DNA sequence: AATGCCTGCCC
DNA sequence: ATTCTGC
DNA sequence: GCAGAATGGGCAGGCATT
């Protein structure tokens, strides 16, 4: 199933007004292939059960191994192979035609493949034929999809929406880039001053993340607005939403059924942007009502698909298969093509590649379109590098890590390279920026119309939010650990909660209770220790293109460790499997999540997230098969899926079994780990088990909040994995047994591993086992060991 | 003033 | 966060 | 392997309701 298909897939009972082009729901087709809907209630099912309950052809790999009864703890659960590729049901052919376009051959590689293929000296070779076709399109042989508006006049919102529709019509990334680039070029040609606005609407942002502009609008308010705007009841809207899994579609449908008396003024990109900004700004008493009426006003001016994308934008999910990274590439192509066009020429492949590499590298240092776009317009995409450099005040996108399933995988990947292992701390990412008042350099403003930066101390989050107001303690202590001669720096760290009494790190759940806004130094209750692991900028110069080995050295020379305030992340440089294993174990004992593994030398160790964002590896115990907490839980409810999960269950409510009270206590929802085929299958097998209401022996809060859309007979059991067990205000599992009067236990990062067809509902993991697993955890066990009896301690 | 619901943001 | 999927 | 889109628990903060 591809994203393009999903976006246009509608619910089972939902129909659109005539003239709306929408793909046939795949589910109906897949369901026809699926045969058996026999409930899984048989106790004596042995090895062949999996086949009995699915439409899969016989396949030796699908034999579920029997499992020791009654021991659903760590690592004992039977492993169930995932469906092998040849099991997959035939996929629907995608209809992705637009103006005579022939799509490129499947399997053909693109120039991006070439660029990413990883050699140290990467000079892309010529792409194969299909790629060249695409490049020609990028270079502008095809006329714009939306006819030109008057130059200098506002960009019609309809033009953007036309592009969005084209994007929905294909799953191919190169085609998406082509459409996007073509439209951006049109904007550059006709209304260049609006390019920034357009790009912002494409990535669905109103301002830089660190400016803290919040929409304050979610599903609830949107449903209200759509209902009011179209004169339909909230219940009707909810019903539609359940059926088509997308509020944008609901809005479009509702508007199309509505008689419009006055033809509204056509929306422009600028008007929409301003409208959204105004909605975001609304605050205070009666604010929600004012937000709703502002949304209504925008909606009233929206025609057809405009309503769909307006609402999707407000919901924060455009579902275009187009996000930051693809826009970045499209933008580079648009600029170079536009620049060449002005000279009556076209860019060749090398130029396109150069432009892309340039923009990626610029964005890597200074991820702010607000600054980059005007700079490119002024200096050209080839020269812009000199003008846009990493600087304090603009948060860098952080390097991320790829999960690895075994230490041996790490060794394979980094074979013959020098690498380092660092503790992976369980806190909050903190990118610390600093410019000393004594600094001789003045940095450009971080935003359009902002002040130049002379003196600054800020903390940014993993997602570039400004956390300075949350961590006044970090900022106030900086003079303890920054050498006085330091002029400026950007430092990548993890802020971790500190238990000073026991001299340990606090669990994340504890750190989370810190206040967030405008915290005064005296009000800090949870102390924090900064664990620094990388240096991105020092004394006026970016160091992201130095090797990690050099960056680390610089970092150690520049800062002073102060116990419990500022330390360097603990690390070990070894390629020895056994030593790494020991270090991993040690990290867990020290309240960490596992290890980060990073290359030490060469290009691959640079800090360039837009070039290769997942160049680091992470290894945690629960990634390793046969390690980590595994539970067998009963499916007692489900929620309707949205977006690409429309018309199947998108997530499920799971429970454990309390042997004493003979009741099923809710543990968690689960929504990841399923293949699309499995989601289809589970809809088939669970739908017949739906019941009107919760069983009296289901223990789950009564409120509307966590109530599933449907309840089930307690028959189906699944194996589920989690990183940790946590105290829960919301779930009932082992309530009271974990040493905290009313709180139950839930799972951190739960994911689906496989069905346990050999188990019936009351064979599920029991409440007491869950309590035991919770109490056994290092952080819980060690805490009371150190502190003495401490069972009434409340988080 | 207390409670409940919603949203955004951490992981 | 974790996981799956098309390219 | 990337990029995108599904989905998790749980907290503070802000508004609405009682």
Residues 424-453 of A with CB under 7 A from strand C: 429
A136 confidence band (pLDDT: 50, 70, 90): low
- d(C-alpha A713, C-alpha A130), whole Å: 52
Per-residue pLDDT tens for A672-724?
999 999 999 999 999 999 999 999 999 999 988 899 999 999 999 999 999 99
DSSP strand pairing (A428-435 vs A456-460): antiparallel
Residue with CA nearest C1' of nucleotide D9? A748
pLDDT at A140: 56
Nucleotide nearest to A401 (CA to C1'): C1
Assess whether pLDDT exceeds 70 at residue A18.
Answer: no
| pLDDT greater at residue A29 or residue A212 | A212
A403 CB closer than 7 A to any strand C atom: yes
A673 CB closer than 7 A to any strand C atom: yes
pLDDT more than 90, % of chain A:
77
A779 confidence band (pLDDT: 50, 70, 90): confident
Q: Using the 8-state DSSP alphabet, how is residue A299 labeled?
A: H
Long-range CB contacts for residues A740-746, cutoff 8 Å, separation at least 24: A740/A791, A740/A792, A740/A794, A740/A795, A741/A792, A744/A665, A744/A666, A744/A667, A745/A667, A745/A770, A745/A771, A745/A774, A746/A667, A746/A668
Assess whether pLDDT exceeds 90 at residue A45.
Answer: no
pLDDT at A243: 96
Strands (E) located in A70-185 = none
What's the Å distance between residue A286 CA and nucleotide D17 C1'?
12
- Strand B bases with any atom < 7 A from protein Cβ: 4-11
Assess whether pLDDT exceeds 90 at residue A379.
Answer: yes
A171 CB closer than 7 A to any strand C atom: yes
pLDDT at A778: 80
pLDDT at A793: 40
A781 confidence band (pLDDT: 50, 70, 90): confident
Q: Which CATH superfamily is domain A400-620 in?
A: DNA ligase/mRNA capping enzyme (3.30.470.30)
Per-residue pLDDT tens for A305-337?
999 999 999 999 999 999 999 999 999 999 999
Nucleotide nearest to A701 (CA to C1'): B4
**Residue A648, number of CB atoms within 10 A of its CB:** 25
Q: In the structure encoding, which two tokens stand for residue A437, read together?
A: 């008042």
- Strand D bases with any atom < 7 A from protein Cβ: 1-16
pLDDT at A138: 57
Nucleotide nearest to A107 (CA to C1'): C7
Calculate mean pLDDT across residues A542-571: 98
Which listed residue (A172, A424, A618, A620) is catalytic?
A: A424
Query: Do the Cβ atoms of A269 and A198 come closer than 8 Å?
Result: yes
Residue that has been written with the tokens 């130049």 in this structure: A452
| pLDDT greater at residue A128 or residue A4 | A128
What's the Å distance between residue A333 CA and nucleotide B7 C1'?
37
Residue with CA nearest C1' of nucleotide C6? A2
What's the Å distance between residue A168 CA and nucleotide D2 C1'?
20
A106 CB closer than 7 A to any strand C atom: yes
pLDDT at A740: 76
Assess whether pLDDT exceeds 50 at residue A117.
Answer: no
A377 CB closer than 7 A to any strand C atom: no
What's the Å distance between residue A727 CA and nucleotide D17 C1'?
29
Per-residue pLDDT tens for A732-765?
999 989 877 789 999 999 999 999 999 999 999 9
Residue with CA nearest C1' of nucleotide D8? A749
Which protein residues have a C-beta closer than 7 A to any atom of strand B?
A 212, 214-222, 316, 426-429, 461-463, 465, 467, 508, 512, 703-705, 749
CB proximity list for A265: less than 8 A, separation 6 or greater: A301
What's the Å distance between residue A705 CA and nucleotide D10 C1'?
14
pTM of the model: 0.85
Nucleotide nearest to A615 (CA to C1'): D1
What's the Å distance between residue A422 CA and nucleotide D14 C1'?
39
Q: Where are the domains of chain A?
A: 128-204+323-386, 212-315, 400-620, 630-786
Give, in order, the Cα–Cα distances in Å from A519 to each of A374, A473, A512, A524, A567: 36, 9, 14, 7, 23
A511 confidence band (pLDDT: 50, 70, 90): very high
Per-residue pLDDT tens for A414-426?
999 999 999 999 9
Q: Using the 8-state DSSP alphabet, how is residue A449 labeled?
A: T
Assess whether pLDDT exceeds 80 at residue A663.
Answer: yes
Query: Do the Cβ atoms of A722 and A748 come closer than 8 Å?
Result: yes
DSSP strand pairing (A566-568 vs A528-538): parallel
Fold of A212-315: DNA ligase i, domain 1 (1.10.3260)
pLDDT at A780: 85
Assess whether pLDDT exceeds 60 at residue A110.
Answer: no
Residues 481-540 of A with CB under 7 A from strand C: none
Rg of chain A, C-alpha, whole Å: 28
A134 confidence band (pLDDT: 50, 70, 90): low
Assess whether pLDDT exceeds 70 at residue A49.
Answer: no
- d(C-alpha A157, C-alpha A237), whole Å: 25
Fold of A128-204+323-386: DNA ligase i, domain 1 (1.10.3260)
Nucleotide nearest to A639 (CA to C1'): D7
Q: Which CATH superfamily is domain A630-786 in?
A: Nucleic acid-binding proteins (2.40.50.140)
Nearest alpha-carbon partner for A580 in A411, A415, A427: A411
* A128-204+323-386 and A212-315 in the same fold: yes
What's the Å distance between residue A692 CA and nucleotide D18 C1'?
30
A612 confidence band (pLDDT: 50, 70, 90): confident
* CA dihedral over A513, A393, A361, A182, signed as positive or negative: positive
What's the Å distance between residue A173 CA and nucleotide C5 C1'?
13
A372 confidence band (pLDDT: 50, 70, 90): very high
Nucleotide nearest to A106 (CA to C1'): C7
Nearest alpha-carbon partner for A1 in A87, A86, A94: A94
Per-residue pLDDT tens for A342-354?
999 999 999 999 9
What's the Å distance between residue A171 CA and nucleotide C6 C1'?
7
Calculate mean pLDDT across residues A461-482: 98
Calculate mean pLDDT across residues A275-282: 98
Annotated catalytic, A424? yes
Assess whether pLDDT exceeds 70 at residue A135.
Answer: no
Q: Sheet containing A401-403: give its strands across.
A: A401-403, A616-620, A592-599, A419-425, A571-572
- Strand C bases with any atom < 7 A from protein Cβ: 1-7
Average pLDDT, chain A: 85
Reported as type and span, the H/E element at residue A243 is helix A234-244
A173 CB closer than 7 A to any strand C atom: yes
pLDDT at A133: 60
A119 confidence band (pLDDT: 50, 70, 90): very low
Assess whether pLDDT exceeds 50 at residue A30.
Answer: no
A70 CB closer than 7 A to any strand C atom: no
């Amino acid at each position: 199933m591809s994203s393009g298909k999903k976006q246009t897939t509608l619910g089972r009972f939902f129909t659109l007004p005539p003239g709306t082009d929408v793909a046939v729901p795949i589910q109906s087709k897949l369901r026809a292939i699926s045969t058996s809907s026999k409930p899984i209630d048989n106790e004596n099912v042995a090895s062949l059960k999996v086949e009995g309950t699915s439409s899969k052809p016989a396949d030796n790999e699908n034999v579920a191994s029997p499992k020791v009864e009654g021991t659903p703890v760590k690592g004992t659960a039977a492993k169930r192979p995932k469906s092998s590729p040849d099991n997959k049901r035939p996929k629907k052919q995608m209809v992705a035609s637009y103006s005579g376009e022939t799509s490129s051959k499947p399997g053909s590689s693109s120039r991006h493949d070439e660029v990413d293929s990883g050699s140290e000296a990467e000079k892309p070779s010529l792409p194969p034929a299909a790629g060249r076709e695409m490049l020609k399109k990028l270079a502008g042989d095809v006329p714009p999809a939306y006819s030109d508006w008057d130059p200098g006049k506002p960009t019609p919102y309809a033009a953007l929406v036309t592009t969005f529709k084209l994007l929905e019509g294909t799953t191919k990334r190169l085609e998406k880039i082509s459409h996007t680039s073509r439209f951006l070029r049109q904007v550059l040609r006709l209304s260049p001053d609006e390019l920034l606005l357009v790009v912002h609407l494409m990535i669905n942002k109103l301002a830089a993340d660190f400016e803290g502009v919040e929409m304050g609008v979610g599903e609830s308010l949107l449903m209200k607005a759509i209902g009011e705007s179209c004169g339909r009841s909230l219940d009707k809207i909810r019903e539609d939403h359940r059926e088509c899994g997308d509020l944008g579609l609901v809005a479009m449908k509702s508007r199309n059924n509505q008689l419009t008396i006055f033809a509204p003024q056509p929306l422009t990109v600028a008007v929409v942007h301003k409208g959204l900004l105004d909605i975001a700004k609304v605050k205070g008493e009666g604010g929600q009502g004012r937000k709703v009426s502002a949304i209504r006003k925008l909606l009233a001016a929206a025609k057809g698909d405009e309503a769909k994308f307006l609402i999707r934008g407000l919901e924060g999910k455009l579902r275009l298969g187009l996000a930051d990274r693809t826009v970045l590439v499209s933008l580079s192509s648009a600029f170079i093509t536009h620049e060449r066009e002005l000279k009556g020429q076209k860019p060749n492949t090398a130029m396109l590649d150069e432009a892309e590499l340039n923009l990626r590298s610029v964005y890597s240092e200074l991820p702010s379109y607000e600054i980059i776009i005007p700079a490119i317009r002024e200096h050209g995409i080839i020269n812009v590098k000199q003008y846009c450099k990493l600087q304090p005040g603009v948060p860098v996108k952080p390097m991320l890590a790829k999960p690895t399933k075994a230490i041996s995988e790490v060794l394979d990947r980094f074979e013959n390279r020098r690498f380092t292992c660092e503790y992976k701390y369980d806190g909050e990412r903190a990118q610390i920026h600093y410019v000393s008042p004594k600094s001789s350099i003045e940095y450009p403003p971080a935003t359009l119309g902002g002040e130049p930066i002379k003196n600054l101390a800020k903390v940014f989050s993993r997602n570039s939010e400004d956390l300075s107001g949350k961590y006044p303690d970090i900022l106030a202590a900086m003079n303890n650990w920054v050498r006085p001669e330091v002029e400026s720096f950007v430092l990548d760290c993890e802020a971790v909660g500190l238990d000073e009494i026991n001299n340990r790190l606090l669990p994340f759940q504890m750190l989370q209770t810190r206040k967030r806004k405008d915290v005064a130094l005296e009000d800090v209750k949870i102390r924090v220790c900064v664990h620094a692991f990388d240096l991105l900028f020092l004394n006026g110069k970016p160091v992201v293109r130095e090797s990690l080995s050099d960056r680390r050295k610089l970092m150690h020379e520049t800062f002073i460790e102060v116990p419990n305030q500022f330390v360097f992340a603990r690390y070990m440089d070894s390629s020895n499997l056994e030593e790494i294993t020991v270090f991993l174990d040690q990290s867990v004992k020290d309240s960490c999540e596992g290890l980060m593994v990073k290359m030490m030398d060469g290009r691959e160790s640079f800090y360039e997230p837009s070039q290769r964002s997942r160049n680091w590896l992470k290894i945690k115990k629960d990634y390793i098969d046969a390690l980590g907490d595994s539970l067998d839980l009963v499916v007692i409810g489900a929620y309707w899926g949205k977006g690409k999960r429309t018309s199947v269950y998108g997530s499920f409510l799971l429970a454990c079994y309390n042997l004493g009270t003979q009741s099923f206590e809710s543990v968690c929802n689960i929504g990841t780990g399923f293949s699309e085929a499995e989601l289809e299958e589970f809809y088939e097998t669970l739908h017949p088990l739906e019941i009107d209401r919760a069983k009296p022996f289901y223990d789950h809060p009564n409120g509307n909040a966590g109530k599933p859309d449907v309840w089930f007979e307690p028959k189906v059991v699944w194996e589920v994995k989690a990183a940790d067990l946590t105290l829960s205000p919301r779930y009932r599992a082992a309530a009271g047994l974990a040493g905290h009067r009313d709180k139950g236990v839930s799972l951190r990062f739960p994911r689906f591993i496989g069905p346990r067809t050999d188990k019936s509902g009351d064979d599920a993991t029991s409440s007491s086992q869950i309590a035991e697993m919770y109490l056994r955890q290092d952080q819980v066990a060690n805490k009371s060991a150190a502190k003495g009896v401490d069972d009434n301690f409340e988080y």
